[in-house]
Amino acid sequence: MSASFASAQGAAREAAAAQHYPQGALYVVATPIGNLADITLRAMHVLLLADTVACEDTRHTQALLRAYGIDKGAAQLLAVHQHNEAEAAHHVVQRLQQGQRVAYVSDAGTPGVSDPGARLVAAVHAAGLRTVPLPGASSITTALSVAGAVAHSGEQGGFVFAGFLPVKNAERAAVIEQQLAHEARCVVLLEAPHRIEELAKALGVLGQRPVTLARELTKQFEEITTQPAEALTAWLSGSPQRSRGEFVVLLHPTPVASDDGDSLRVLRLLLQELPLKTAVRVAAEITGASRNVLYDTALQWKRDGAPTEAAAGGDADG
């Protein structure tokens, strides 16, 4: 056991043992995303109590447990990862039906969000068995809490979780240009260090839209920065260290134009005679308003069925 956690087990028992922990239940346990001190007392108590610990990587989890002074034999660790999740879920269900308490952990953070675990939980539900969530660390909420990227109300309120984008450049670019560029709310992405530069390059089409990069969250070299999308590649190239570690990437909300300004009156008039993209470009040139804001506003009108475009005009240029 790490000397830093010598008294943690006692504190975990004292704080959490009074609660009832039923047998035959799957405990979905959040674990630290980098800083070992972010374990919760209840998580530690359940890991001590569990008959089986299901996990992505048994070696990684064994090292984590030993850091907290939790000793589990090899037979008590069960690998459940993306390549065997369906088969392993069957074994978990069998152990639950035998009355075991099974704790499931991913390599880091909250299972079942981006990490494996969703299929396991679904299988447990399908078998009529109980699941118990133990909240804790999550890279998604950690990044959101400090980025100032979530609007509190209106059409821009909340956020959209998109996770990992396609690996292939053309598919990634299509998602960004056809979907994310027109999403007014904050968008949460995840990316691995060996692909962050390609993602940054692809996001450059978003121009001045603010993007927060959060890497190595909770660790010694944690770094969080907000840059215009078009400046991300330059920022990453500023130091070799900046491309290391797992990334949470937040696309900030797109500004929405107010309908009491000249720019929107001009845009409405132009849309009656011109295709959407042409109308947006001309309105931006006439009024000096942001082309991105006008474009997003015109798209919203179109989605809402607002009568802005002439029937014969259409959207001929895309």
Confidence of residue 313 (pLDDT cuts 50, 70, 90): very low
Q: What is the pLDDT of residues 198-257, one digit of tens each?
A: 999 999 999 889 999 999 999 999 999 999 999 999 999 999 999 999 999 999 998 665
Residues whose CB is less than 8 angstroms from the CB of residue 20 and which lie 6 or more positions away in sequence, other chains included: none
| Cα separation, 28 vs 301, whole angstroms | 43
Q: Categorize the per-residue pLDDT at 5 as very low, low, confident or very high, splitting at 50, 70 and 90.
A: confident
| Alpha helix stretches (DSSP H) within the chain | 8-16, 41-49, 58-67, 85-97, 118-126, 139-147, 169-178, 196-203, 232-236, 262-271, 276-287, 291-304
Q: Which of 285, 267, 264, 301 is nearest to 182 (CA)?
A: 301
- pLDDT higher at 124 or 293: 124
Q: What is the pLDDT of residues 80-101, one digit of tens each?
A: 988 898 899 999 999 999 999 9
Residue of 155, 159, 156, 111 whose CA lies nearest to 135: 111
Position 318 confidence tier, pLDDT thresholds 50, 70, 90: very low
Q: Is the pLDDT of residue 311 over 50?
A: no
Least confident of 73-77, 165-169, 179-183, 309-313: 309-313
Give residues with Cβ within 8 angstroms of 111, minimum separation 6: 28, 29, 30, 104, 105, 117
- 59-70: pLDDT as tens digits: 999 999 999 999
pLDDT of residue 284: 83
pLDDT band per the 50, 70, 90 thresholds, residue 294? confident
pLDDT of amino acid 74: 93
**Is residue 211 within 8 Å of 228, Cβ to Cβ?**
yes
Instruction: Give the C-alpha separation, 229 to 280, whole Å.
Output: 21
Q: Residue 243 in contact with residue 199, Cβ under 8 Å?
A: no
Q: How far apart are CA 106 and CA 33, in angstroms?
A: 10
pLDDT value at residue 256 = 60
CB atoms within 10 A of CB 258: 10
Summarised one tens digit per residue, pLDDT across range 161-197 is: 999 999 999 999 999 999 998 888 999 999 999 999 9
Number of C-alpha atoms within 13 angstroms, CB side, residue 252? 18
Nearest to 132 by CA among 148, 121, 145, 143: 121
Q: What is the pLDDT of residue 2?
A: 65
Q: Side chain identity at 148, as an amino acid letter?
A: G
Is residue 317 predicted with pLDDT exceeding 60?
Answer: no
Percent of the chain with pLDDT over 90: 69
How large is the average pLDDT for residues 268-297? 86
The stretch 261-284 carries a mean pLDDT of 88
Record the pTM. 0.79
Residue 298's pLDDT band, with cuts at 50, 70 and 90, is: confident
